[in-house]
Amino acid sequence: PSDDGQGGERPTEKFIFAHDPRLRDPSPGYYTVSQALAFLSAIRCRVLMVRCSAGIDFGKKFTAAADQALHDNARSYRVLRVEGDHHVHLTHPERIADAVCAMFRQGAVPASKL
């Protein structure tokens, strides 16, 4: 047997899933509302915002301010509303694929230098 890192023992011939409990702590990297809006106001490229029916809710006041910052500063700004959650781009890519491809066809992505 060997130490499992949590004070217990585990057989050497088996694997046990474990995680770092610190990963559940709040992130020290959260931004204030004013910092987030400053970042959004600095965006100058085309933006496609995918809003999901069961997505992360940032509140109406912040969402309106973010929309305004992007509308005023981004080269173009489009909001696409789809059914799904935060991972809709992974679980149902067909719901966003046409809009993403259309944005790329507009020249939103520069040619690769590779």
| pLDDT, tens only, 45-100 | 999 999 999 988 999 999 999 999 999 999 999 999 999 999 999 999 999 999 99
Torsion on CA atoms 103, 109, 111, 113, rounded to nearest 10: -150
Q: Give the pLDDT confidence score for residue 114 in this predicted structure.
A: 45
Q: Categorize the per-residue pLDDT at 104 as very low, low, confident or very high, splitting at 50, 70 and 90.
A: confident
Q: Give the pLDDT confidence score for residue 69 in this predicted structure.
A: 97
Structural tokens at position 1: 């047997």
The H or E element spanning position 67 is helix 60-73
- CA dist 38 and 70 (Å) reads 10
pTM for this model (two decimals):
0.67
Nearest to 74 by CA among 111, 103, 105: 103
According to DSSP, residue 28 is labeled T
Q: Give the pLDDT confidence score for residue 38 in this predicted structure.
A: 97
Residue ranges of E strands in 23-110: 46-54, 76-85
Asked whether the predicted pLDDT for residue 103 surpasses 60, the reply is yes
Q: Categorize the per-residue pLDDT at 21 as very low, low, confident or very high, splitting at 50, 70 and 90.
A: confident
Structural tokens at position 44: 């100058």
Greater pLDDT, 111 or 82:
82
Q: Give the pLDDT confidence score for residue 15 in this predicted structure.
A: 60
User: Phi-psi bin for 53: left (phi > 0), alpha (psi -120 to 50), beta?
Assistant: alpha
